[in-house]
Structure 1
Amino acid sequence: MNIRNGILAAALLILNATTAVALEKPTGDVVLTVTGKISQPNAGDKAEFDIDMLEKLVSRTGTMETPWTTGKVTFSGPMLNAILEAAGADGETLTIKALNDYAADVPMSDAKDFDTILATRMDGKLMSVRDKGPLFLIYPFDEKPELYNEKYFSRSVWQIKAIEVH
């Protein structure tokens, strides 16, 4: 009987480790929609996030200079990779779309290889649309100065509303 219980317990641990946790539904205003090749939708075939959901994910804070701000600014927000994992994203390219329909294609590897964040806060305050919010893709310019160039500037979308996974 003990061996059977041990096997059952081991099987349950394996099942729990390989079963993805369902993405909760937003209770506040939706600020980000992830579509395309995802396996964890929470609204039809898309994954929707409100600010509270985003701020519960693994996050990062970095103080850096950017071409779009004056002096050093502190950005904080969820890691892009954490958002993609929560949505069950599985693709090669992300099309990141802004409120004004500007879009940039970003390799999925940027989320995995760099500590990229979707900043929700600048200097501790939630980012408004006027201040490039509600979400701003920020590369780790503070940790990797070699990223401070036009290639990554063009991928640094602000006023983000959606990500499509290809």
Structure 2
Amino acid sequence: MAADHRKHSALCAWALRTLLCAVPLLLVSHVAQALDKPTGPVVLTVEGNISAPNQGAKAQFDMPMLEKLPQHTFTTRTPWYPDAVTFTGPLLRDVLAAAGSKGNAITAVALNDYKTEIPMDDVHRHEVIVARLMNNRPMPIREKGPLFIIYPFDTKTELRTELYYNRAAWQLNALRIR
């Protein structure tokens, strides 16, 4: 009986130590998930139905913040270039996750006020990226930059349609979540 009690006490002590060590780690990991504030020029603002703002009610990103997100690269043909082009950037769903997006529709807004509606379903069904590089180079504004929402058009026949071409947005500067 005494041996069982010692084993139980030792097990309880181990569980308590484990819990006391885990709580600070959980708190630190939660803090690490917070969206940093941009230190350079803001290139993208996410607003609307979000839970992780870093500037008032908005989530703002500078280019280094977008570069820190996991990067994805694909080559695809588009209606806007004569040859296939290689695009690199974070997945749109990763950008939205960083901002704590909770909506079901996105309005992408370009520098020239062009607006396009993107269903949230696209973000989960397709590897849509917020391209920051084209052919391994940053995109100046005159070349559809600095950001370009682009679909991997060559991966699925359904994406090579006017519907999806119209959902692409170059010179992107804002995402409105509803």
TM-score band by shorter chain is over 0.9
3-state secondary structure, aligned to 2:167: coil
Q: What is the CA-CA distance between 1:143 and the residue it aligns to?
A: 2.1
Question: Residue type of the partner of 1:53?
Answer: M
Q: What is the CA-CA distance between 1:88 and the residue it aligns to?
A: 0.5
TM-score using structure 2 length: 0.86
User: Which residue number corresponds to residue 34 of structure 2?
Assistant: 22
3-state secondary structure, aligned to 1:151: helix
Q: Distance in 2 between matches of 1:19 and 1:108?
A: 27
Q: 1:2 and 2:14 equivalent?
A: yes
3-state secondary structure, aligned to 1:154: helix
Check whether the contact 2:154–2:160 (CA below 8 A) recurs between aligned residues. no
Q: Distance in 2 between matches of 1:143 and 1:5?
A: 51
Q: What is the CA-CA distance between 1:13 and the residue it aligns to?
A: 5.8
User: Unaligned stretches of 5+ in structure 2?
Assistant: 1-12
User: Which residue number corresponds to residue 91 of structure 2?
Assistant: 79
Deviates more, 1:21-30 or 1:137-146: 137-146
CA root-mean-square deviation: 1.7
3-state secondary structure, aligned to 1:68: coil
Q: What is the CA-CA distance between 1:3 and the residue it aligns to?
A: 2.4
Check whether the contact 1:62–1:142 (CA below 8 A) recurs between aligned residues. no
Check whether the contact 2:75–2:152 (CA below 8 A) recurs between aligned residues. no
Q: 1:44 and 2:56 equivalent?
A: yes
Q: What is the CA-CA distance between 1:10 and the residue it aligns to?
A: 4.9
Q: Distance in 1 between matches of 2:157 and 2:88?
A: 18
Q: Distance in 2 between matches of 1:131 and 1:145?
A: 26
TM-score using structure 1 length: 0.92
Deviates more, 1:143-152 or 1:17-26: 17-26
3-state secondary structure, aligned to 1:66: coil
Question: Residue type of the partner of 1:61?
Answer: T
Q: Distance in 1 between matches of 2:122 and 2:80?
A: 20
User: Which residue number corresponds to residue 127 of structure 1?
Assistant: 139
2:159 to 116, 122, 147: 147
Deviates more, 1:124-133 or 1:5-14: 5-14
Q: Distance in 1 between matches of 2:176 and 2:19?
A: 41
Q: What is the CA-CA distance between 1:77 and the residue it aligns to?
A: 0.8
Larger radius of gyration: 2
User: Which residue number corresponds to residue 7 of structure 2?
Assistant: none
Q: What is the CA-CA distance between 1:9 and the residue it aligns to?
A: 3.9
User: Which residue number corresponds to residue 75 of structure 2?
Assistant: 63
Q: Distance in 2 between matches of 1:145 and 1:9?
A: 51
Structure (1/2) with the larger helix percentage: 2
User: Unaligned stretches of 5+ in structure 1?
Assistant: none
